[in-house]
Amino acid sequence: MTTPITQDHIDFYRENGFVKVDNMLTEEELELLREYLEEAMQTTSDRSVQTDKQGGLYYRVLNQKVNTWRDHAGMGKFSFHERFAQSALQLAGAGQIRLFHDHGLWKMPNDSKPTPWHQDTPYWPINEADQGMLSIWIALDDVNEKNGCMAFIPKSQKLGKLHGIDFLDPQNIFDYVEGGQLDDRKPVVVPLKAGSCTFHNGLTFHYAHANETDRPRRALAIIYMPDDITFSGASHPITNGLNLEKGDVLKGPLFPVLAVRGSD
C-alpha cells in the first residue's frame, strides 16, 4: 500500500508529536466520506455513542459521535482504510496497528466553544502511559482559526501522561507541567485544506479553535493503537459492556488489526 508518508514526516512526528500530511484523501474519497459521515451523524442507534444532544453544554464544544463505522457500513471503508492505517504504522514505528475507535467531530456554527488544551491518553481506559497510540484527524472542510482548526505544542508528548481536562470547565493543563519544561514551546496552528490531515500522539497537547462561521466544521478522527494495549478497568463508552477484565489486552472483532509491518 502506497502512502503519502515520507521520512521527513516520520522524523517530524517522532520529534514533535504531531505532523501535517496534505492530500490524504482523493477528491472522490472526500465527497464520499462527506456523504457517509453526514448520514452516520444523523443515525440513531445503540451501536455508536453520541456524546451529547443538541442544546447540551458539551455539544457546544463538540457534536461528537464515536464508532460511526458500527452504524454505517460505508464508514468502514474509511475507518478501516489501509492507507490511513499504514501511515499511522509508519509514523509510530509499530509492528502492527489496531483500531481503537473512530469519531465524527462536528464543531457547530456560531455558538461553539474552543476545545481546551488537553492530551488524549488520560481519557482512554488503558494501563500504558507511554504507549504509542495516535490519531489521524481528517478535515472534511477547509479549516483555519475561524472555524476550528487544531493547534499543537511541539514535543509535549515527551512529558508523559498528565491529567484529564474537563471540557466544560477546563483546568489549565500547563499548570501540571513542572519546571518550565514547555516555556520555550509555542503553539503551532495547523490550518488544513479539505482532504488533508494531521496525526498526533495521544500524549501531545492539542487544542481546537471555536467555530465562528455559519457552517459546521466537519472532521473524522480515527484512533490507532499498537498491539498489547491493556484495559485499565475504567468505565468508558468504547469498552463498557464488553466483559473485559482489568489487564485484558484490547483485541478482537471490535479492535481489528488494520496494518502490519512488512505487509505492504
Spatial contact of 132 and 199, defined as CB atoms under 8 Å apart: no
Ranges assigned E (strand) in 33-139: 49-50, 63-66, 96-107, 115-118, 134-139
Report the number of distinct structural domains present in the chain: 1
Total-model pTM: 0.91
Q: What confidence score (pLDDT) does residue 45 get? A: 64
Backbone angles phi, psi at 177, to 5 degrees: -90, 125
**In this structure, what CATH number is given to the domain that contains residue 51?**
2.60.120.620
Q: What confidence score (pLDDT) does residue 91 get? A: 97
Pairing mode, strands 63-66 and 96-107? antiparallel
Please report whether residue 192 resides in a domain.
Answer: yes
Q: For residue 251, give the nearest of 103, 46, 96 by alpha carbon.
A: 96
How far apart are the C-alpha atoms of 193 and 246, rounded to whole Å?
41
Q: What confidence score (pLDDT) does residue 223 get? A: 97
Spatial contact of 249 and 229, defined as CB atoms under 8 Å apart: yes
Please report whether residue 2 resides in a domain.
Answer: no
**What does the block give as the cell for 68?**
460511526
Please report whether residue 44 resides in a domain.
Answer: yes
How far apart are the C-alpha atoms of 39 and 217, rounded to whole Å?
16
Please report whether residue 170 resides in a domain.
Answer: yes
How far apart are the C-alpha atoms of 140 and 26, rounded to whole Å?
12
Per-residue pLDDT of the chain (264 residues; tens, 9 = 90+): 799 999 999 999 999 999 999 999 999 999 999 999 999 888 776 654 554 444 443 334 456 788 999 989 999 999 999 999 999 999 999 999 999 999 998 888 876 788 899 999 999 999 998 779 999 999 999 999 999 999 999 999 999 898 888 777 778 887 878 777 777 789 999 999 999 999 999 999 999 999 999 999 999 999 999 989 999 999 998 899 999 999 999 999 999 999 999 865
Please report whether residue 1 resides in a domain.
Answer: no
Please report whether residue 49 resides in a domain.
Answer: yes
Helix axes 82-92, 7-16, angle to 10 degrees: 60
Burial of 183 (0-12, 13-18, 19+ CB in 10 A): exposed
Q: Domain range spanning residue 128?
A: 7-260
Please report whether residue 253 resides in a domain.
Answer: yes
Q: What confidence score (pLDDT) does residue 169 get? A: 77
Q: What confidence score (pLDDT) does residue 4 get? A: 97
